């Protein structure tokens, strides 16, 4: 793969979250939202990952640095004034060598938001593959949505190439009827991206520098813009409020449960089993309804948990049986039996 780096945009204020906690740090399945995005980048073998921070910068840097120490080559840069995604990328490019220097290699840069926790490595890999296979200057990830409200609409020319992206606040009534939308995920050739950013104008409904406008800039100078369409709209959905946070958590929990079941774990009712992402479970474990496994919990084979069990940062030995219990920071030996069932009153 051609030299490729990534920029993760995590500087937004997240006003609709109505929270003092920076939006990238809101937890999903036991981990900060932005860490799920960065997880998807690890297998790509990127040169480096630049994270643009803003509100709550220190907290975001501390959380991400501690979690990904040694697993990603991370750099952080702060967008001090929130002037839009185009400005955020311009700030991030200060971490890159000038592509026009005589000894510099022209690299590709993957750009994605820090509030898309369901994005898959396979989707990003395919986006990069298509981009490099066609030697494109810009390739974007789009998706068809049943309800595109809130997203920028993709406009294509008669040949099917992307001509521009129009943000919803700037779209006319006809453009708002389109249901192919941008996902805020792109791959750009650095040597084309840098000058295009200089041309951006904040003359729009939000008085911001839109990264989406780079597509039209590049198209106007004669470049063809490619697009890869994601199959599942839930994968690329952003998280901007608490309702969307709950939807993302629900989908990620479904994925986690499906993976454990594929690895040999039995669930009597997967819809009522909640497992954090860092939990490890050996095969031939049975989970009954009402089980909540959190933190770094580990469950050995042959154990039966539930109904109504909550374990946080616990290690459960093989062949154990636990029901009606809430335990934290405990190590249980093999064949442990715990039942805190309420007394049954027989009349």
Contact 52, 22 (CB under 8 A): no
Catalytic residues: 16
Q: Give backbone dihedrals phi and psi of 165, rounded to 5 degrees, phi first.
A: -120, 130
Q: Residue 54 and residue 46: Cα distance in Å, rounded?
A: 23
What sign for the dihedral angle of Cα 238, 243, 249, 251? negative
* HSE value, Cβ hemisphere, 13 Å, CA-based, for 21: 12
- What does DSSP assign to residue 10? E
> How far is the CA of 345 from the CAs of 325, 341, 342, in angstroms?
19, 12, 9
Helices (H), 99-241: 121-133, 173-176, 190-199, 213-220
Backbone angles phi, psi at 233, to 5 degrees: -65, -25
String of DSSP letters for 44-85 = G--S-EEEEE-TTHHHHHHHHHHHSTTTS-EEEEE-SS---H
Q: Write the DSSP assignment of 216-284 as a string of letters.
A: HHHHHTT--BEEEE-S-GGGG----SHHHHHHHHHHHHHHHHHHHHHTT-EES-GGGEEE-TT-EE-TT
């Amino acid at each position: 793969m051609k030299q490729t780096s990534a920029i993760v945009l995590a500087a937004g204020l997240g006003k609709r979250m109505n929270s003092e906690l920076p939006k990238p740090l809101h937890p999903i399945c036991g981990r900060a939202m932005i860490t799920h995005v960065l997880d998807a980048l690890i297998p790509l073998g990127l040169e480096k990952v630049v994270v643009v921070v803003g509100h709550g910068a220190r907290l975001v840097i501390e959380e991400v640095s501690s979690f990904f120490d040694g697993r990603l080559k991370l750099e952080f840069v702060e967008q001090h004034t929130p002037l839009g995604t185009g400005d955020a990328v311009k700030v991030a490019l200060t971490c890159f060598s000038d592509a026009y220097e005589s000894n510099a290699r022209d690299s590709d840069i993957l750009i994605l938001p820090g509030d898309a926790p369901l994005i898959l490595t396979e989707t990003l890999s395919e986006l990069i593959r298509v981009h490099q296979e066609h030697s494109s200057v810009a390739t974007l990830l789009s998706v068809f949505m049943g309800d595109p409200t809130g997203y920028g609409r993709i406009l294509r020319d008669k040949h099917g190439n992307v001509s521009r992206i129009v943000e919803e606040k700037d779209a006319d009534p006809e453009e708002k009827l389109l249901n192919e939308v941008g996902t805020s995920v792109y791959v750009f050739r650095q040597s084309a991206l840098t000058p295009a950013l200089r041309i951006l104008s904040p003359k729009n409904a939000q008085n911001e520098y839109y990264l989406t406008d780079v597509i039209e800039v590049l198209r106007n100078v004669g470049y063809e813009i490619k697009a890869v369409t994601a199959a599942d709209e839930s994968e690329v959905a952003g998280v901007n409020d608490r309702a969307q946070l709950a939807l993302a958590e629900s989908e990620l929990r479904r994925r986690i449960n499906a993976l454990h079941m594929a690895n040999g774990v039995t669930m009597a009712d997967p819809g009522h089993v909640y497992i954090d992402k860092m939990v490890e479970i050996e095969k031939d474990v049975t989970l009954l309804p009402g089980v909540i496994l959190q933190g770094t919990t580990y469950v050995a084979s042959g154990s039966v948990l539930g109904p109504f069990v909550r374990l946080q940062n616990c290690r459960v030995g093989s062949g154990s049986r636990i029901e009606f219990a809430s335990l934290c920071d405990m190590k249980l030996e093999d064949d442990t039996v715990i039942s805190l069932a309420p007394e049954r009153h027989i009349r």
